[in-house]
């Protein structure tokens, strides 16, 4: 079941598993389902230990297309930090992962974090629309980090 979201521009879709005798297959990105500005130019996979969070941070120009497929369960946190957004200062929180595989498109200016709330290591795939560190990794990284601000409004519980 898809979470009810309040932040403008965030897109959440179910990731469907097509299962047969060999196992399963899931589509993570389809060009015909996203506006061209969000088409991925790179991807990476990360593993997160139980109880560990990644973020919160935001991007000035990059959008992230996260795929939470499991194993484990992740709690996703989103805060609209865009001054020109009609949903500015809105916060959303929901879970995704093995029991509810979801694709989450996070536009630039939306602060985001996720935490592995399950009891085993979890895998996340991200397909961003900008190269990390630019071409040849020769540009500044597009990240505004809030992880080390214990008094900030972007908190992961």
The domain spans of the chain are: 1-12+35-132
pLDDT of residue 157: 87
Instruction: Print pLDDT tens along the chain (157 aa).
Output: 799 999 999 999 999 999 999 999 999 999 999 999 999 999 999 999 999 999 999 999 999 999 999 999 999 999 999 999 999 999 999 999 999 999 999 999 999 999 999 999 999 999 999 999 999 999 999 999 999 887 889 999 8
1-12+35-132: CATH topology is Jelly Rolls (2.60.120)
Q: Is the pTM of this model over 0.75?
A: yes
Half-sphere exposure of 4 (CA within 13 A, CB side): 0
Q: Buried b / exposed e across 87-121, counting CB within 10 Å, b at 16+?
A: beebebebbbbbebbbbbbbbbbbbbbbbbbbeee
């Amino acid at each position: 079941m898809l979470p009810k979201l309040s932040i403008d521009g965030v897109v959440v879709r179910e990731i469907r598993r097509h299962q047969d005798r060999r196992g399963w297959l899931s589509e993570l990105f389809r060009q015909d389902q996203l506006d061209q500005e969000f088409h991925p130019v790179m991807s990476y996979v990360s593993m997160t230990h139980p109880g560990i969070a990644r973020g919160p941070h935001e991007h000035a120009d990059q959008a992230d297309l996260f795929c939470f497929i499991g194993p484990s369960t992740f709690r996703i946190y989103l805060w609209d930090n865009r001054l020109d957004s009609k949903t500015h200062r809105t916060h959303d929180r929901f879970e995704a992962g093995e029991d509810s595989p979801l694709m989450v498109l996070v536009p630039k200016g939306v602060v985001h974090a996720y935490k592995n709330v399950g009891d085993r290591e979890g895998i996340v795939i991200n397909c961003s629309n900008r190269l990390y560190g630019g071409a040849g990794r020769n540009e500044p990284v597009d990240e505004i980090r809030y992880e080390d601000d214990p008094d900030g409004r972007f908190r992961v519980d």
